[in-house]
Structure 1
């Protein structure tokens, strides 16, 4: 086994400082999250906050009038747009836009391809939501799966930004040796992108569900209780998107070994063949959802 290139604690401290320098989520975004996380939240409450942010308001109107929703009559009222989209969809659009804005810039992606990374992330988000529906998750809860899938690999961005040469080497060796990227990260750095993702979630105060997803999405069996099922759906989605070759977050391995364990977690009518049978439907949803990523950017 390779020795980490330099002291693990030193690298973690450098990454901690790098994450600390990242922009915080905007005041508008924090208010949106506060409203959406309140059981008494209403579309009117959300509309009042969004109306004060012309850029976000424009994104909401673009989304509701996009081909994704295929409405017969254009919507010009922000209030009606929020009502049609629903609180969770608007929250997730706002959060996606905020995350992409915080991570934009030519130095954010060096060893990784920005377009491939976000396409992979979008694919995992869409597939997570789709699988959640297949496994009987209530409609109101499915948007959380989309965001978790979209965010699951965020920790790779500071790693590849701060250590571009080493990260490129990790990706190359993972491909040459047909091994997963996160295990190669552990050999080279002494830790992997899951730990760095936790730092970002903590900085942005996005809550325990997303934190646990970023922490355990490669080993969902390690998660506690009810979180295990949620995380394993995101892991199933990650497996499916890697299999389909949609975008890339640098991982050359489809990790077939994890699939039976993920399916067992759900104890549902889901096996390898039924997972693969969803491919065409997932691909269709991803094509439609690309407008979501375009609007967020």
Structure 2
């Protein structure tokens, strides 16, 4: 009942966008056992913006391939259907930025930072695959993007209040709006029919311990993104948080030395790839 009330309040205030048409078609084909590679290639190729981004990602330093991927068919064969599904979702998140000023760039930069950091955490902890951590990092703050799209003047004031009063973004969102970006993100995940794993990360990336009433299979990936978020906030990647949140590395079973090594590697990789990823 309480969830229904919150949802009604949210939907009166916030415009929950649909999944972009090309993304809906691609996701539908990926789930179709009888879909052909040619059909998938044709749909992607019709959207020049999406196909260009897909080729850029397939040729990015993240995938570290020796040969250049020159067409959509090669890209699909290289990265596989599961990774393609993640990239479709990631591209859709990027397309939500109706405006792309300094603030929007900072929101996007933070999501990319958490994505890249999460993939490194996944490697050293072996608690998730790097690809799933990458896309979960990209989508974790989708609620912020949608709030900013709908209420840009109010959202800037929310961040002003965050800095002036030294509170968390989530707490100030609750104070000003009566809901926060994790609630918005949860509604988006349901509307887009995102995989449950992504829905849980979007909803619980600030929560620890992971809620006992949810499927424990998603606890590790939520924790990876939570700690990666803390690392990026500590390093000031993207929109800064005035609260000095400690990095809860022990919850991942890693040592302080391992954390420092991870942060050093992350800084190098992010500096190397951020211009590529942000463009």
Q: TM-score range by the shorter chain?
A: 0.7 to 0.9
Output one character per residue of 1:128-173: Cα deviation in whole Å (capped at 9) or x when no partner: 11101111146xx331211111111111223334444443333233
2:267 is aligned to: 283
- Assess, with a 3 A threshold, how the Cα gap between structure 1 residues 190 and 55 changes in structure 2: closer, same or farther: closer
Measure how far apart 1:232 and its partner are: 0.7
1:3 is aligned to: none
2:72 is aligned to: 78
Q: Is the 8 A contact 2:122 2:130 kept in 1?
A: yes
Matched, 1:238 2:214: no
Measure how far apart 1:281 and its partner are: 1.0
Distance 2:130 2:243 in 1: 27
- Assess, with a 3 A threshold, how the Cα gap between structure 1 residues 105 and 51 changes in structure 2: closer, same or farther: closer
Matched, 1:219 2:207: yes
Q: Is the 8 A contact 2:18 2:191 kept in 1?
A: no
Measure how far apart 1:193 and its partner are: 1.1
Structure 1: runs of 5+ lacking an equivalent: 1-6
Distance 2:7 2:50 in 1: 39
Distance 1:219 1:95 in 2: 23
Moved more, 226-235 or 181-190: 181-190
- Assess, with a 3 A threshold, how the Cα gap between structure 1 residues 74 and 202 changes in structure 2: closer, same or farther: same
2:117 is aligned to: 127
Q: Is the 8 A contact 2:121 2:224 kept in 1?
A: yes
Distance 2:278 2:46 in 1: 22
Q: Is the 8 A contact 2:25 2:43 kept in 1?
A: yes
Measure how far apart 1:46 and its partner are: 4.8
Aligned ranges 1:1-297 → 2 under 5 Å:
11-16=9-14, 18-19=15-16, 22-26=17-21, 28-36=22-30, 46-47=40-41, 49-51=43-45, 53-66=47-60, 71=65, 73-101=67-95, 103-106=96-99, 113-137=103-127, 141-223=129-211, 224=214, 225-248=216-239, 251-256=241-246, 259-260=247-248, 263-264=250-251, 266=252, 268=253, 270-290=254-274, 291-294=276-279
Q: Is the 8 A contact 1:29 1:98 kept in 2?
A: yes
Structure 2: runs of 5+ lacking an equivalent: none
Distance 1:241 1:43 in 2: 38
Distance 2:36 2:208 in 1: 34
TM-score calculated relative to the size of structure 1: 0.77
Provide the aligned length of Structure 1 versus Structure 2.
271
- Assess, with a 3 A threshold, how the Cα gap between structure 1 residues 61 and 156 changes in structure 2: closer, same or farther: closer
Distance 2:31 2:259 in 1: 32
Distance 1:208 1:173 in 2: 33
Distance 1:169 1:72 in 2: 47
- Assess, with a 3 A threshold, how the Cα gap between structure 1 residues 64 and 169 changes in structure 2: closer, same or farther: closer
Measure how far apart 1:235 and its partner are: 0.3
> Which protein has greater RCO, CA pairs closer than 8 Å, 6+ apart?
1
Distance 1:234 1:161 in 2: 24
